[in-house]
Structure formats: structure tokens, C-alpha cells
Amino acid sequence: MGYFLQQLINGLTLGMIYGLIALGYTMVYGIIGMINFAHGEIYMIGAFLAVIGFTVLGLLGISYVPVALLIVLFTAMLFTAVYGWTLERVAYRPLRSAPRLAPLISAIGASIFFQNYVQLAQGARVKPIAPVISGGYTVFEEGGFTVQLSYVQILIWLLTLALMVAFALLIQRTSLGRAQRACEQDRAMASLVGIDVNRTISLTFVIGATLAAVAGVMVTLYYGVVDFYIGFLAGIKAFTAAVLGGIGSLPGAMLGGLILGLVEAFWSAYFSVEYKDVAAFTILVLVLIFKPSGLLGRPEVEKV
């Protein structure tokens, strides 16, 4: 029972991180119908910014955790917002009217560029940091096994839930959210009624990038080590989560992330850890076979 509960906590934590990254995929797809395959690298850049930020703050003697965390979060979100905006302007906007294959290739090229850019700038070796937040609560004890809920896991849960609520309010109750929903339904008609489509799409990329930055900072706090390649695997997992939950559905992205995190945690605990990715992708294949639109996705209706 104790071991199961510990893996449940670990799986929920990992799933929330996947869900945060998956939101960026599903937002971009929902508005322009394209997959941003460079999104994982934005998350990776956010993680590196966290390592740099905590290292610089340590050298400056700023050791009070809440202040340091706020500074690093704000800095990472600011810089990744610039990367997200640049990515949309350079890799997507010029190809918006091109065949779908062209922006796909452009996004993959941007992903490779970001990987090599960070590798050259920061080196190929892993970048560790000292634990910033340590300690936690003892949830359960049984037969000498202790179930721990760390402060970092609590922070990830609370921050993810807060961002989900804030984002839901933004979509439902703000002018930007109404503009995003209008662009999702019909970009041409949205433009005719006075919505700045280019600005709305750029802001969508910016918001997705900032969510990826938060995920990158949380992963850095959770694992304490990053490298230039983490964006590729995390991006594939988050894309899987978005498709699993229903690409284009924001609740579906978070649900898919949670399912993926739980599957990985429990498979690693009770079966072979080498095959946890196989298990996750097998579930995705089964869902797509029996429910192609995903768990919460809506089937696309072609307008004639």
C-alpha cells in the first residue's frame, strides 16, 4: 500500500509537468492547426535558465528561497516568451499559407537549431544544481516503508493547479481568450470582425512558451540536473499527452499528461523501467484506434 501511494504521488507530479508542456502544443494546434515541434526545446531553454538563475543568485548571496524562486520564474518566463514570439515570427508566420508540410519541417529545423544552440552555448555535459527546496511531509508509514510528499512536489501541484485556473479564466473571460476562440473557429472571419489575428497567434505562442518555462523550472527543482537533450524526449511525451487527451482540448492536455505520468510511474515501479515509454505509447495507440479524437477531443467536422 505504501509503495503504491508513493508511486501515485510521483506519477501525479510527473503528469502535471507533462500537462504544462502539453498545453503549449494544444493551444497552437487549436488556433492554427499546426504542431509546434520546437516546443520541447523552449521547455529545455527554461530549464537551463533556471540553472543559470539559481547559480547567479547563489553567487550574489540571495538565498531566501521564495525570493529566488520568484526571480528565476519571472526571468525564465520572460526569456522564453521572447523565444516563443521569435519562433512564431520566423518559423511559422511566413509559412502560414503554405502546405502543412512546410511549417512542420520549419518547426523541426527550429528544434534542431535550439538543441545545437544550447549545446554550443552551455556545453554537452549535464548541468547539476544544489537542492534549492528540501524536506517534505511523511504521508504514510507501513512496515518500515515511508511515503514522502516533498515540498517541491507540493509546489508543482499548487503551481500547476493555479496556472490551470488562471488560464481557464483567461480563455473564458478576457478579450484575448475570446479572440483566441474566434481564431480557432475561423481566422478569416475573426479578421473581418476586427480581431488582430497575427497578434493573437503571437500571444498564444508567448503564453505556451511561458508555461513551458514554468515546467522547465519545476523539473530543475525536482531532478536537480538538466542537459541540452531533455527537450526532445519531454516534447515527444507532452505531444503524446496532448494527443491522448484530445489535441486542441485544454482539459484533455492536462488529463493526458496525468495519465502518461501515472503510467510511467507505475510501470517503472512494478515492471521493467526500460519499457515504460513503450507502455505509454501503447496506450496512446489503443486510444487512437478506439477513439481517434482522444479522450476529450471532438471529432473534426469538415465545413462545406
> Interhelix angle for 197-223 vs 65-87, to 10°?
140
Give the per-residue pLDDT at 51.
Answer: 94
- Beta carbons within 8 Å of 303's beta carbon, 6+ residues apart: none
* H or E stretch covering 118: helix 101-122
Q: Residue 84: exposed, middle, or buried by beta-carbon count in 10 A (0-12, 13-18, 19+)?
A: buried
Residue 299: CB atoms within 10 Å: 9
Q: In terms of pLDDT, which residue wins out, 212 or 142?
A: 212
Helix, strand, coil share of the chain (percent; to 5): 75, 5, 20
d(CA 253, CA 160): 13
d(CA 122, CA 176): 36
DSSP state of 147: E
Question: Which whole number is the average pLDDT over 257-286?
Answer: 86
Q: Which residues pair with 149 in a beta bridge?
A: 137
pLDDT in tens, 84-113: 999 999 988 888 888 878 888 998 999 999
pLDDT at 304 over 60: no
Local confidence band at 301 (pLDDT 50, 70, 90 cut-offs) = low
Q: Contact 287/235 with Cβ under 8 angstroms?
A: no
Q: Residue 5: exposed, middle, or buried by beta-carbon count in 10 A (0-12, 13-18, 19+)?
A: middle
Question: Which whole number is the average pLDDT over 226-231?
Answer: 90
Task: Please tell me the pTM assigned to this model.
Answer: 0.91
pLDDT in tens, 146-159: 888 999 999 999 99
Long-range contacts, 171-178 (Cβ 8 Å, 24+): 171/250, 176/200, 176/203
In the Cβ-directed half-sphere of 176, how many Cα atoms lie within 13 Å?
16
Give the per-residue pLDDT at 234.
Answer: 87
pLDDT at 50 over 90: yes
Q: Contact 31/184 with Cβ under 8 angstroms?
A: yes
Handedness of CA 234, 239, 244, 245 (dihedral sign): positive
d(CA 24, CA 27): 5
Q: Which residues pair with 141 in a beta bridge?
A: 146
**Beta pairing class for 225-226 and 127-128:** antiparallel
